[in-house]
Chains A and B, each alone.
Chain A
Amino acid sequence: MKRIVALAEYCLGCGLCAVYCSALHTAPDLDLVRAFRQPKRLAAGITVEKNLEFAVARSCRHCENPYCVESCITGAMVKDPLTGEVWCDVERCVACWTCVAACPYGMVTISQGPHDQHPHAQKCDLCRNLSEVPVCVLKCPNEALVLVEEEGVA
Chain B
Amino acid sequence: MTDRPRHYCIIGNSTAAIAAVESIRRVDKQGEITLIAEEPYHTYARPLISYYLSGQVGPDQLLYRPKDFYQKNRVAALLGVRATRLDTGSRIVYLDSEIESLHYDACLLATGSRAWAPPIPGIDLAGVGSFWTLDDAIAWKRTIQTGERVVVLGAGLVGMKAAEALVKLGCQVRVVEAAPRILPAVLTQSAAANVQAWFEQHGVEFQLGTGVAALEGRHQVETVALVGGKQLRADKVVLATGVRPRLELAEDTPIAFDRGLLVNQWQETTVSGVFSAGDVCVGFDRLRNCNQINPILPNAHHQGRIAGFNMAGEERMNEGIIPFNATSFFGRSLITMGFSQENELDMEEITESTTTGSRSLFFQGNKLVGATLINAGQRAGILLSLIRERFEVADPPGLLRSVPQLLDFPDLPRQEQKGGGPGEICGCFRHDL
Contact = CB atoms under 8 A, between A and B. Distances in A.
Interface of A: 3, 5-9, 47, 49-51, 54, 56, 58, 61-67, 70-71, 73-75, 91-92, 94-98, 100-110, 119, 146, 148, 154
A100 B377 CA distance: 7
B381 A101 contact: yes
B288 interface: no
Contacts of A97: 326-328, 333, 335, 377, 380
B406 interface: yes
B381 A67 contact: yes
B326 A106 contact: no
B4 interface: no
Interface of B: 19, 45, 47-48, 51, 56-57, 61, 63-65, 297-298, 301-302, 305, 324-328, 331, 333, 335, 337, 373, 377-382, 384-385, 388, 404-408, 415, 417-421, 425, 428-431, 433
Nearest to A84: B419
Contacts of B428: 8, 54, 56
A106 B301 contact: no
Contacts of B384: 101-102, 104
Nearest to A104: B385
B307 to A, nearest CB: 13
Nearest to B389: A104
A64 B407 contact: no
Given A5-B429, A56-B407, A95-B328, A61 B305 contact: no
Report whether over half of chain B's contact residues are helix, strand or loop; otherwise say mixed: mixed
B380 A100 contact: yes
Nearest to A118: B56
Given A6-B431, A100-B378, A101-B381, 20 more contacts: A3-B420, A47-B405, A49-B407, A56-B407, A61-B420, A61-B421, A63-B418, A71-B297, A71-B301, A73-B297, A75-B45, A96-B47, A98-B297, A100-B377, A101-B324, A101-B325, A101-B337, A101-B384, A104-B382, A106-B406
B381 A103 contact: yes
B301 A75 contact: no
A104 B335 CA distance: 15
A64 B433 contact: no
B418 A64 contact: yes
A96 B333 CA distance: 7
Contact of B328 (A7, A9, A96): A96
9 contacts: A3-B421, A5-B431, A61-B421, A70-B298, A73-B48, A74-B48, A75-B65, A102-B324, A104-B425
A106 B429 contact: no
A154 B56 contact: no
B381 A102 contact: yes
Nearest to A119: B331
Contacts of A70: 19, 298, 301-302, 305
Contacts of A91: 61
Contacts of A119: 331
B335 A101 contact: yes
Nearest to A68: B381
Contacts of B19: 70
Nearest to B161: A96
A121 to B, nearest CB: 11
B19 to A, nearest CB: 8
A105 B430 CA distance: 17
A73 B327 CA distance: 10
B51 A94 contact: yes
Given A63-B417, A70-B301, A73-B48, A101 B377 contact: yes
A98 B47 CA distance: 12
Looking at B45, B298, B325, B419, which has the most chain A CB atoms within 10 Å of its CB?
Answer: B419
Contacts of B415: 63, 104
A10 to B, nearest CB: 10
A62 B406 contact: no
A96 B430 CA distance: 35
A5 B421 contact: yes
A32 to B, nearest CB: 24
A49 B418 CA distance: 22
A6 B379 CA distance: 19
Contacts of A50: 407
Which 4 pairs from chain A and chain B are nearest by CB?
A61-B420, A106-B379, A63-B419, A71-B298
A106 B420 contact: no
A100 B48 contact: no
Contact of A73 (B45, B380, B421): B45
Given A58-B406, A61-B419, A101-B326, A73 B47 contact: yes
Contacts of B429: 5-8, 56
A66 B373 CA distance: 22
Contacts of A100: 326, 335, 377-381
Looking at A50, A56, A71, which has the most chain B CB atoms within 10 Å of its CB?
Answer: A71
Contacts of B57: 94
Looking at A62, A98, A101, which has the most chain B CB atoms within 10 Å of its CB?
Answer: A101
Contacts of B302: 70
B338 to A, nearest CB: 11
B64 A74 contact: yes
B430 A148 contact: no
B419 A62 contact: yes
Contacts of A49: 405-407
